[in-house]
């Protein structure tokens, strides 16, 4: 009789275990997410997940706080005013060096898509990165990935961050306006800002990371860009919520694989078009290659990102970084098994 009872208990446990994934309750259905420049194509998967209702499909109510740049959204995460962030992968590396355990769960961008341009009427003075000493350079926000991009290029060309002046210009119409008004000499920014300035004939490109060829020329390989990153404690305490967030963003990547620029323009808010739909379509076409195809960050990409940071950050040169701790692939792998 005891053996029968034991067998019944084992069978019941097996059934409960098999159905546990479906039965699991979302620990935190209301999530606050930080992002630095949501209208930028760098963060397009986030906008698609929001506008296509993928977060709601996963049972989440996500409030998005849009900051002026990635450094500010990181500060919000560390300070506790947001739960999670869509931001640059390299922040997970930098925070590890500072003793903060931040982990990413899905890659949204496999290339940064950042472009360094100079004002056309200053192009004779700044013909190459090595000529930028003394220049006033616009970035989305100081300490953001657009800033790191310039720091790396400066270091490769024998210059230091202190050799130039950085100005936070945001990532939308204000960035375009400041370049057009001549308030800055150069700019490190993303689409649609860059395509707008290019099409208007306002700038000359010095470095472009929107393509595979561009990334190889600049970094020597792919360099992971936007990711979903969280505090390790959040992942441990809210594994179902973390899975649901990753699922929603993975759905956005799947949708983007076959979406045309016209499809994308119909989904995003009208203000993202900067008053020029044709321009936006061109910007989407230019940036389409940057999005991750799998959501997984390759080990080679992690190393490229670390090598980039070490080039200009003395703190990281002395730090022992465990790259395996910067990305937890379990969640995107689980998403890939269920979402086609």
What are the tens digits of pLDDT across the range 179-223? 999 999 999 999 999 999 999 999 999 999 999 999 999 999 889
> Is a pLDDT exceeding 90 seen at residue 118?
yes
Question: Domains in the chain, ordered, with CATH?
Answer: 28-111+223-338 (3.40.190.10), 115-219 (3.40.190.10)
Q: What is the mean pLDDT of residues 111-132?
A: 96
Strand partners, 178: none
Which residues, including other chains, have CB under 8 Å from residue 145's CB and lie 6 or more apart? 70, 87, 88, 90, 91, 112, 114, 225
In 115-250 the beta strands, taken as DSSP E runs, fall at: 115-119, 136-139, 165-168, 186-189, 203-208, 226-231
Nearest Cα neighbor of 106 from 337, 326, 263, 338 is 326
d(CA 305, CA 89): 8
Q: What is the pLDDT of residue 275?
A: 86
Q: What is the mean pLDDT of residues 252-271?
A: 96
Using pLDDT thresholds of 50, 70 and 90, give the confidence band for residue 16: very low
Q: Please, what is the average pLDDT of the chain?
A: 91
d(CA 301, CA 182): 36
Q: What is the mean pLDDT of residues 308-326?
A: 92
Q: What is the pLDDT of residue 240?
A: 98
Collapse the DSSP code of 168 into the 3-class scheme (helix H, G, I; strand E, B; otherwise coil) and give the result: strand
Q: What is the pLDDT of residue 5?
A: 41
d(CA 260, CA 28): 34
Q: What is the pLDDT of residue 315?
A: 86
DSSP letter at 88 equals E
Least trusted range by pLDDT, from 14-23, 46-55, 140-149, 176-185: 14-23
Q: What is the pLDDT of residue 221?
A: 87
Q: What is the mean pLDDT of residues 307-332?
A: 94
Using pLDDT thresholds of 50, 70 and 90, give the confidence band for residue 68: confident
Count CB-CB contacts under 10 A for residue 6.
10
> Is a pLDDT exceeding 70 seen at residue 22?
no
Q: What is the pLDDT of residue 54?
A: 98
> Is a pLDDT exceeding 50 seen at residue 13?
no
Tokens of 290: 């940057």
d(CA 172, CA 64): 17
Instruction: For residue 209, report the phi and psi dihedrals to the nearest 5 degrees.
Output: -105, 30
């Amino acid at each position: 009789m005891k053996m029968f009872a034991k067998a019944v208990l084992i069978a019941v446990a097996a059934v409960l275990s098999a159905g546990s994934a479906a039965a699991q309750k979302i620990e935190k259905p209301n999530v606050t997410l930080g992002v630095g420049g949501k209208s930028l194509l760098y963060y397009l998967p986030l906008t698609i997940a929001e506008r296509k209702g993928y977060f709601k499909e996963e049972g989440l109510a996500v409030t998005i706080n849009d900051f002026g740049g990635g450094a500010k959204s990181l500060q919000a995460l560390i300070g506790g005013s947001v739960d999670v962030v869509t931001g640059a992968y390299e922040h997970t590396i930098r925070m590890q060096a500072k003793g903060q355990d931040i982990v990413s769960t899905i890659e949204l961008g496999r290339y940064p898509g950042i472009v360094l341009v100079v004002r056309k009427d200053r192009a004779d003075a700044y013909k190459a990165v090595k000529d930028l000493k003394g220049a006033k350079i616009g970035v989305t926000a100081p300490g953001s990935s657009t800033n790191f991009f310039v720091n790396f290029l400066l270091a490769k060309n024998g210059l230091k961050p202190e050799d130039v002046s950085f100005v936070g210009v945001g990532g939308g119409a204000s960035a375009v306006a400041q370049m057009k008004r001549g308030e800055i000499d150069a700019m490190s920014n993303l689409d649609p800002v860059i395509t707008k300035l290019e099409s208007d004939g306002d700038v000359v490109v010095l470095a472009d990371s929107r393509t595979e060829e561009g990334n190889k020329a600049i970094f020597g390989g792919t360099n992971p860009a936007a990711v979903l990153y969280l505090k390790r404690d959040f992942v441990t305490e809210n594994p179902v919520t973390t899975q649901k967030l990753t699922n929603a963003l993975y759905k956005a990547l799947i949708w983007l694989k076959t979406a045309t620029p016209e499809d994308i323009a119909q989904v995003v808010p009208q203000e993202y078009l900067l008053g020029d739909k044709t321009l936006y379509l061109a910007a989407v076409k230019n940036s389409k290659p940057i999005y991750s195809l799998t959501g997984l960050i390759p080990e080679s990409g992690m190393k490229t990102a670390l090598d980039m940071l070490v080039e200009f950050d003395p703190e990281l040169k002395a730090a022992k970084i465990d790259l395996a701790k910067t990305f937890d692939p379990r969640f995107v792998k689980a998403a890939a098994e269920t979402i086609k």
